[in-house]
Amino acid sequence: MNSISSSSSVVVVVVVVVVVVVVVVVVVVVVVVVVVVVVVVVEVVVEVLVVVIVVVVVVVVVVVVEVEVVVVVVVVVVVVVVVVVVVVVEVVVVIVEVKIVVLVVTAVVVVVVVIFVVVVEVVVVKVEVSVVDVPTVEVVFATVVDDVLLNS
């Protein structure tokens, strides 16, 4: 009876460990995703500020130096296109990075769960075998009594 309760306690401990590992991994994934998103948002904001600064500088140059408006429009369009391309590339890279992180974390969780399931199976089988192999006090007493009666 004691071995059976110890096997169930081992299973409970393993289940608790698996749950804790899964929760920790999920929290890590959420933190990584949030950090990546914040970094991308900051980068995009900085790039938009760069575009605004370039546009302001170009407008000031146009007003002060009286450069052709066509030149100004071309410069602004080129800067805006470059920034948009950079932002799109960064967003795509972040999406790919997040997918890779999620895949790696999922693989780690699956491996951890499989390892703990195997451990639980091995522990439970060992406990069950030990319960079967170890004779109880009643069996030992009956065997001794039989031996004594047979030998007398």
Name the token pair of 74. Answer: 């071309």
**Do 36 and 97 form a contact (C-beta atoms < 8 A)?**
yes
| Enclosing domain of residue 93 | 2-151
Q: 63-121, pLDDT tens digit by residue? A: 777 767 777 777 778 878 887 888 788 778 877 877 877 787 778 778 877 777 777 77
Q: Rounded to 5 degrees, what angle do the CA atoms 53, 58, 64 make?
A: 125
Residue 83 has a pLDDT of: 78
Domain count, the chain: 1
